[in-house]
Amino acid sequence: MTPNERFDQDVKRDVQARVREGVKAVLEEVLEEEMTEHLEAGYRELTPTRRGERNGHYTRNLVTPAGRIERLEVPRDREGE
């Protein structure tokens, strides 16, 4: 393998890793927004229409077209919905 081929492979792996990091960040943000809509209240927000409470996160691995995403943090509520 030539130095140029090795460099190209390293660049490709780095780009793929950054894409996976970006996909993970976007998915976690979308999941947080969905939880906010589900509870009808933001994090630590008290509203008259609030329908429950957040209860931390659990982790999941997810296979996407961008590759395997490790330790995706999925929010949960007290009722487990």
Count of C-beta atoms within a 10 Å radius of residue 55: 12
pTM: 0.83
How many whole angstroms separate alpha carbon 52 and alpha carbon 78?
7
| Cβ atoms 52, 39 nearer than 8 A | yes
Q: What pLDDT, in 10s, does the model give residues 34-79?
A: 999 999 998 888 888 888 899 999 999 999 998 999 999 999 998 8
In whole angstroms, give the CA distance from residue 29 to residue 50: 20
Residue written as tokens 């330790």? 71
Q: Classify burial at 39, counting beta carbons within 10 Å of its beta carbon; exposed 0-12, middle 13-18, buried 19 or more.
A: buried
